[in-house]
Amino acid sequence: MKEKKPVWLRTSVKVLDKIGETVVKQKKHYDVAMQEFKKISDKVERHPHLSFISLLGANKLIGDVLDNNLAYFFKNRDSYWFKKFFEDEELHELVKEDIEFYHKKFPGIRLTLTKDGTMIYDNYHPNHFNILLLTVHGGTWIPDFVNELMSVSKAIVYSEEDIATDLIYGPLVLEKGGIWINTKQSRFVCDFNRMPGRAIYSNNSEARVKNIWHEELKAKEKARIMKSYHRFYQLLDTLIGTYRFNIVFDGHSMVDEKGRPALSFGVKFVPQFYGPIVAEMRRTLMRETKKDVEINTPYSGGYILEYLSGHFPDIFIFSMEINKRLYMDKEGLHLRKRDMWNLSKAVLKIFDF
């Protein structure tokens, strides 16, 4: 007669069997979960824009931005909700104008928009050559509450802005690859290329425009303006935390003054071992424009480049200045479009070596 196992032993065996089955099931679930996690991780790595948007949500910025592709925004450019997203009607029209200009050629490029007119174009290609381009001094939009306090005329402000730098430099990212940050807000409202304490100009703070305000901004008004500054740097921090760039490029133009060159590179923050690349870029741009290209004259690099060099000490970070006499009239009020587009074509070739 077969001896029966004690009850406690039979119970223990059953419990161990159950535990074993549970462990096997959990292992299967774990393996499936890890496979899904790897798929998601690979997707995020291939498309860092997903991570960028996710981090905007984590930083409580998602309500301050719109995100989709150019084709979508073109389709909805006159929708009520799209118009009301922006601070005012003038800003909506400026953003709409850009969307209408670019959507036919680049319908699939992602675009992130803020309420105050920062436009982030995403043409990033993982494991390829990618540029982080900034054109932050070309904006002309001034909110009404700021404009009411300004004594400087719109014509003078316009002549000081980096007019059409978006058109000159933008194709570098749209056609080659990377991220382009373009701003519609005037630097006379808030200068993103200054440290926080100097971002809002004061009377006599600027070399060519002395009297900016007929009434000084109150603390509440300054705080309202500085929200756009802090939002800009939050966006910038999120971008550099999710994307990897070969080059950071800060694109500007400059008012024509005695002794100023036609073209200039600011290379203060370029590591020395990139010297041969700077020399080749200079030769390329001189060949394409038939103009001399000087180094660090009159500017060597602004606050944004200094800020970014702290994050990327070994990356190629530089600025470029184009003298307005090359594409505008003497007063800096009217474009010579053929010259402007020729400059854009030349800029497009500076890394072709």
Q: What range does the domain containing 11 cover?
A: 1-46
Contact 122, 112 (CB under 8 A): yes
| Cβ neighbour number for residue 62 with a 10 Å cutoff | 14
Q: Output DSSP code: residue 67.
A: E
Note whether 77 and 10 are same-domain residues.
Answer: no
What is the model's pLDDT at position 64? 86
Note whether 88 and 128 are same-domain residues.
Answer: yes
Residue 353 in any domain: the answer is no
Note whether 41 and 73 are same-domain residues.
Answer: no
Residue 252 in any domain: the answer is yes
- CATH number, residue 294: 3.40.630.40
Note whether 35 and 105 are same-domain residues.
Answer: no
193-202 own/partner pairs: CB under 8 Å, 24+ apart? 193/136, 193/137, 193/250, 193/302, 193/303, 193/304, 194/302, 194/303, 195/303, 196/226, 196/229, 199/226, 199/229, 200/225, 200/226
Q: What is the pLDDT of residues 90-125, one digit of tens each?
A: 999 999 999 999 999 999 999 999 999 999 999 999
Q: What is the pLDDT of residues 134-184, one digit of tens each?
A: 999 999 999 999 999 999 998 999 999 999 999 999 999 999 999 999 999
Q: What angle do CA 147, 196, 88 make, to 5 degrees?
A: 30
**Coil vs helix vs strand at 92:** helix
Note whether 19 and 137 are same-domain residues.
Answer: no
Task: Say yes or no to pLDDT of 242 above 60.
Answer: yes
Note whether 76 and 24 are same-domain residues.
Answer: no
Residue 126 in any domain: the answer is yes
The reply to whether omega before 107 is within 30° of 0 (cis) is no
CA proximity to 160, closest of 322, 324, 297, 318: 324
Q: How many domains does the chain have?
A: 2
Kindly report the pTM of this predicted structure. Answer: 0.86
Grade residue 16 by pLDDT with cuts at 50, 70 and 90.
low
Note whether 75 and 163 are same-domain residues.
Answer: yes
Pairing mode of beta strands 263-266, 293-295? parallel
Note whether 32 and 122 are same-domain residues.
Answer: no
What is the per-residue DSSP string for 186-210?
-TTT--TTS-GGGSS--TT-SSS--
Better pLDDT: 10 or 263: 263
Note whether 174 and 308 are same-domain residues.
Answer: yes
Q: What is the pLDDT of residues 263-314, one digit of tens each?
A: 999 999 999 999 999 999 999 999 999 999 999 999 999 999 999 999 888 8
Residue 282 to residues 21, 127, 272, 350, Cα–Cα distance (Å): 69, 26, 15, 8
Better pLDDT: 275 or 9: 275
Note whether 38 and 52 are same-domain residues.
Answer: no
